[in-house]
Amino acid sequence: SQQGEEDPQALSIQEGENATMNCSYKTSINNLQWYRQNSGRGLVHLILIRSNEREKHSGRLRVTLDTSKKSSSLLITASRAADTASYFCATLQGGSEKLVFGKGTKLTVNP
């Protein structure tokens, strides 16, 4: 069954602005991951945050995790046109080996 739900479904911003995407999930997790998918391409892993972590940074990416609210956010700072893609959260549920993906947020960064 689907675990993650991204919000918003679509986001359009100007280059240089920050983009924030949210993910909510339903059951307890071991970790939560964010992936990017450019149009017509495969998914690329961006960042993994474990259930005992609250925040993680990687370059212009910042991910937060609130296990009490069962939610995560992905912040992309100083966005670029090349950041245009769909972004998916994926959760590894406790006791499971399956990554369960959300439906994704489609981000458009206008030059």
Partner 1 sequence: DTAVSQTPKYLVTQMGNDKSIKCEQNLGHDTMYWYKQDSKKFLKIMFSYNNKELIINETVPNRFSPKSPDKAHLNLHINSLELGDSAVYFCASSLSRGIQTQYFGPGTRLLVL
Task: Point out which residues bind partner 1 (CB under 8 A).
Answer: 2, 30-31, 33, 35, 37, 40-45, 48, 86, 88, 92, 97-101, 103-104
84 or 86: whose CB is closer to partner 1? 86
What are the angstrom distances between the C-alpha of 9 and each of 68, 85, 86, 107, 108?
Answer: 23, 12, 9, 9, 11
Shortest spacing between CB 104 and partner 1, in angstroms: 5
The answer to whether 6 and 71 have CB atoms below 8 angstroms apart is: no
Cβ atoms < 10 Å from Cβ of 36: 21
79 or 87: whose CB is closer to partner 1? 87
17 or 92: whose CB is closer to partner 1? 92
Among 63, 9, 75, smallest CA distance to 33 is for 63
Shortest spacing between CB 98 and partner 1, in angstroms: 5
